[in-house]
Amino acid sequence: MAEKFVRAIFPGSFDPITNGHLDVIARGTKLFDELIIAVGRSPVKNQLFTPEERVEMIAELISDMPGVSVESFDGLTVEYAAKKKGDVILRGLRSLTDVQYEFQLAMTNRAVAGIETIFIMTSEQYGFTSSTLIREIASLGGNLSNLVPANVYDRLQQRLNRKK
């Protein structure tokens, strides 16, 4: 019997990518043959970095991870996953609040597109971290060096210094 190749899509805004996201990515690489980090272009969210900047930052972080790639996409995640022949959607869970939202999303994705969602619970030290919270702390001058990768921290500092 041939071994099954599994391609996972890890969608998100990643504005910016956090150590929590990287934790999910690193753990996902142990479960899937290929992992595509899919940077969504959300018209709703107030974004700090362009999709191109986010892809660039993530590409720096995953350059030594075989089988992991990053690109941006427009539209519905399930349509992107189908286009990329994704077998599953990977999502990180931080809290019980995430579970309710993610459960609804996963059920909808399965009903609409027949794609399964695999959840990885984030490590305890990242359970409270979100990109929204990171942007807020950064805008108020807080120290984020232990919550985001060094390249992201530097870009956050540069971006916010330009805005002042």
CA 129/CA 25 separation, integer angstroms = 15
Q: What is the DSSP string of 45-96?
A: S--SS-HHHHHHHHHHHHTT-TTEEEEEE-S-HHHHHHHTT-SEEEEEE-SH
- 10-residue mean pLDDT profile of the chain (164 residues): values are 89 94 96 97 79 96 97 95 97 86 93 95 86 88 89 89 71
Burial 153-163 (b: 16+ CB within 10 A, else e): bebbeebeeee
**How high is the pLDDT of residue 164?**
61
Residues annotated as catalytic are 21, 45, 94, 131
Q: How many Cα atoms occupy the beta-carbon half-sphere of 58 within 13 Å?
A: 31
Q: Which CATH architecture has domain 7-163?
A: 3-Layer(aba) Sandwich (3.40)
With CA atoms as reference, report the closest residue to 138 among 117, 126, 152. 152
Amino acid at 109: N
* Phi, then psi, of 31 in degrees rounded to 5: -105, -25
H or E stretch at 19? helix 19-28
Domain ranges of the chain: 7-163
